[in-house]
Amino acid sequence: MGALPQSILFCCDHNAVRSPMAEGIMKKLYGFETYVQSVGVVNDLEIDGFAIAVCNEIGVALSRHRSRSFDEMEQTGEALSGFDLIVALSPASQRRALDLTRLYHLTVEYWPIMDPTGLGETREQKLNAYRQTRDQLMDRLSTKWRQPQ
């Protein structure tokens, strides 16, 4: 287990499911011990309702999350160079993060977390797919860094 980075950026395709879930769970587990944000390759979707529902089950509120892209993050004055670690949760976001950070000495990690969108036919099947993604993120976070107090 490593030490918590001072700042971490989670990224995925749309910043609507995996990266906001990772951001919210990280904040719940580690509080203000690290600065956490999330972005997507593109911002063309709002936060996913199933992601909100399964995170509510563990006390993580995502309903106020506003999706944003790498470009929007930079436009608001938040530079990638300000993060100690970038965690890509999709192949497309990994490529984008590596491309944007090629001039920086930043660590970009890829975590192959399941994309639950499009899985399941019934509401319960869909929720179970999103729960799997949520639980994968929780497991990865708590094994990567020390167990939270």
Q: What is the pLDDT of residue 147?
A: 60
Q: What's the whole-model pTM score?
A: 0.92
| 40 vs 37: CA distance, rounded Å | 11
pLDDT band at 148 (very low <50, low <70, confident <90, very high): low
CATH class, 7-144 region: alpha beta
Q: What is the pLDDT of residues 23-60, one digit of tens each?
A: 999 999 998 889 999 999 988 878 999 999 999 999 99
Q: What is the pLDDT of residues 64-94, one digit of tens each?
A: 999 999 999 888 888 888 899 999 999 999 9
Domain boundaries in the chain?
A: 7-144
pLDDT above 90 coverage of the chain, percent = 71
The secondary structure of the chain, three-state, reads: CECCCCEEEEEECCCCCHHHHHHHHHHHHHHHHCEEEEEECCCCCCCCHHHHHHHHCCCCCCCCCCCCEHHHHHHCCCCHHHCCEEEECCHHHHHHHHHHCCCCCCEEEECCCCCCCCCCCCHHHHHHHHHHHHHHHHHHHHHHECCCC
